[in-house]
Amino acid sequence: MCGITGFLDFKHLTTKEVLSDMVTSLRHRGPDDTGCEIIEAGNASIGLAQARLSIIDISHSGHQPMFFDGLAIVFNGEIYNYAEIRQELIERGHQFQSKSDTEVILHAYREWGLMAINKFIGMFAFVIHDSKKNELIISRDRAGVKPFYYYSKGDLFLFGSELKSLLQHPRFEAHISAAAVHSFFDLGYVPAPQAIFENTWKLLPGHTLKINLNDRSTQDLVYWDVALFYTAPKLTVSYEEAQHEVHELLKSSCQYRMVSDVPVGVFLSGGYDSTAVAAILQKNRNEKLKTFTIGFEHGNNEAPYAKQTAAYLGTDHQEWICTNVEAKSIVPDLPYFFDEPFADQSAIPTILVSRLARQSVTVALSADGGDEIFAGYSRYQEFSKRIQAMQRVPHLLRLPAKHLLSVVCAVLPQGEVATMHRLQGMRGAIHNNNRALSLALYKAIHSLPLTLRNRVFYQASPTPSFQIDQSDEFANEIEMAMAIDFKFYLQNDILTKVDRATMSVSLEGREPLLDHRLIEYVARLPYNFKNSGQTQKRILKDIVHQYVPEAMMNRPKTGFSVPIFRWLRSDLNYLIKEYISPEKLSHEIFKDVDFVMNIVKKFEKGDFYYKPFIWRLLMFQMWYCKWNSR
C-alpha cells in the first residue's frame, strides 16, 4: 500500500525536483520510504515515484520503483495470492530477490503479459514501463479499491494515486470541468472516468491502459466488468449448495486479507457485513482479533451493538465515543483529503475510526460492498415497486400519460418542488420500453431536480450517464440497479471515502467482501437467494447466524452517519457564512446567485426540502477555495 505518481514527458522538461514534489504530496499514504526515478526512453522521459507504506516484505527489498529484465514498476495495493503465483513462477525458472508482491507482478507480467492480471487476487493500481516494447502499461483492480488519476494534454501525461500529486506539476492546467461539476451535484461525487479538471480522468476499475511511446497511441482495454456476471445465466444450484460456496469464498477472502507483515484489525459496526468478517476471522483463532468502532453522542450510534457483538465473538475491541466537537473538527479538512468535491458525510466517522485503528494496527479490514452484492438496500424494493407500477400503464397510453404529466408539472405551484421532481422523473421514464424505463427512472432518482439544475448552472446540465450497455439483459430491474450501484455508488463514493479516510492516517484499508471470486459467484445466484422478499441479504445473514445468534443481530439497520444538517444550522453555520456568499459564488459555475442564496436562507429556516444540495454546495465551495486558487 502506498501512493504512486509520475509522468510521461515527450518534451523531456520535467525535472526530478518536480517529481519529488509530486510524491511528497502523497507522504500521508506512505511515510516509510520514498523512491523517485527518471527513465530516458528515447523520445520521452518517464518519471516513476512511490511513497511507501510497508506491509509485505517491510525490508528495503520492497523499495520502488522496482526493476527487472527491462521492466520498471510503481505499484499501489496488495496481491494477496502473491505467494502462490511466486511459487508457480519459481517452478517456471524465475528467481526472486525479495519476498514482495511487487516483484511477483513484474515476473508475472514478463511470463504471461497482460494475462497475468487474471491471476491476481487483490487491490491494485500499477504502472509498468516495458522498455523492450517501449510501452507504458497501467492497470486498476476489478472493484476499484485503489484509485488512479491521470492527466493527458499535448506532450505531457501525468498520473497519481491522488489528484493533489498532479497539481504539483507546473504544466498541469487546472481548468474545472463543467460536466464533472454537474455530476457532482447530481450524485455527491465525481464518477469515473470523469475528474473535476478538464483533460483529467480516473482509470475505470477493471481497465488497463496501454500507451505506445513510439507513436503515442493509446488503448483502453477492459479485462473485467461486473455487469457481465449479473447478465450471465443464473447458476443452477440449491440454496444450501450456494450458501456453502458463499461461506467458503468468504472464508478464503477474509483469510487472504490477513496476509501482512504488520498488525491487522477490523472495523466493526455491529451490522451483518462487518460481523461476518470479524466472526469468520475470530473463529478458531488463538489470539484475539483487534476490532474498532466509533460511537457518537448524537445521531446514529452503532457502538453498543458493535460492543455486544465483539464480546460475543471474543475480539480485542476498542471503542471511541466521539464528541460533536471532535466530529465537527474534521469538516474543514475534507477538501484536502478528497482533492475533488465529495459529499458523503459518513467520511467524518470513517476518518475518526481510521484514527482510532491506526493507534494499534497498520492494516484494517472494512466490510464495504455487502449491500451492493447481497441486495441489502431497502431502496431496491421501492425501486422495483415503482417500475412495476409504471409497467402496468399500457404502451398505447404511455405517450398521452407523458403529455399529461408535462401539463401537471407546468401548472404546479413553484413551491411544490419535491412533487415536481417526482413527476418529472416519471415523465422522463414512462414513454420507454421496459428495459429503458428502468434505466430512465434510476437516472431520474439520482439526478438533481430540474428546478434547481436550470436555475443554478450557467451551462446546460446533463443528467448522469450510467455506463450500462442498453443490450445488457438483466434478470430484473433490481439486479440492474445493483450493477449500477456497484459501478457508480460503491466505486466512486464508498471506496473513495474509505481509501482517503484510511490513507489520511497511513492506514491500509482492505475489502474482503470485494474479492472478485465472491462477486462473480453471488452475481450469478438467483435473486431470491439474496432477497427473499421478506429478508434482505438472506444468504449472508444465514451464514452470520452460524456464528452469532439471530436474536442478537435482529435489529434495524442504522448506517454510519452524523447529524450534519442540524450542525449546519448551528455550530457549523459559520462555514456556510464563510463559503456561501454572493462574493464567493460569483465564479464560472453558478448562474443565478440570488436564487442559490435564497435556497440557503430557506434551509437555515428549515423550509428547503432538498437538503443534500446544501451539503454538496458547501463541499463544492470549500473545495473550490482550497484547490482552484493555484
Which residues are designated catalytic?
2
SS3 24: helix
Grid cell, residue 157, equals: 501525461
Residue 437: other Cβ atoms inside 10 A? 21
52, 62 contact by CB (below 8 A): yes
DSSP character for 60?
Answer: G
Per-position b or e across 150-159, b if 16+ CB within 10 A of its CB: bbbeeebbbb
Q: Is 366 left (phi over 0), alpha (psi -120 to 50) or beta?
A: beta
CB 610 within 8 A of CB 455: no
Query: What is the DSSP pairing of strand 207-212 with strand 135-140?
Result: antiparallel
- Residue 295, beta-bridge partner list: 321
Locate 252 and state its grid cell: 478464503
Pairing of strands 290-296, 316-322: parallel
Q: Of 521, 483, 475, 513, which Cα lies nearest the Cα of 244?
A: 521
SS3 446: coil
CB 294 within 8 Å of CB 306 = no
Q: Is 530 within 8 Å of 537 (Cβ atoms)? A: yes
Is-contact 556 576, C-beta < 8 A?
Answer: no
Calpha distance 36→494 (Å, rounded) = 31
Quick check: 609 and 417 in contact, CB under 8 A?
yes
Q: Is residue 266 exposed (0-12), middle (13-18) or buried (19+ Cβ within 10 Å)?
A: buried
DSSP label at residue 560:
S
Q: Tell me the three cell numbers of residue 507.
A: 492506514
* Whole-number Å distance between alpha carbons of 488 and 128: 27
Record the cell numbers describing residue 191, joined without a space.
464518477
Q: How many CB atoms lie within 10 A of CB 609?
A: 14
The residue to which cell 421514464 is assigned: 429
Residues composing the chain: 630
CA–centroid distance for 222 within its chain: 18
Neighbouring CB atoms inside 10 A of 77's CB total 25
Q: Is the dihedral of CA 372, 377, 379, 384 positive or negative?
A: positive
3-state secondary structure of 9: strand
Q: Determine the Cα–Cα distance for residues 592 and 102; give it in Å rounded to an integer.
A: 52
Estimate to the nearest angstrom the gap between the alpha carbon of 254 and the chain centroid. 20
Give the Å distances, CA to CA, from 144 to 168, 190, 570: 24, 14, 37
Burial class (CB in 10 A: 0-12, 13-18, 19+), 586: exposed
Q: Where are the beta strands (DSSP E) in 502-548?
A: 508-510
Q: Three cell numbers at 291?
A: 476490532
Look-up: residue for cell 482510532?
A: 356
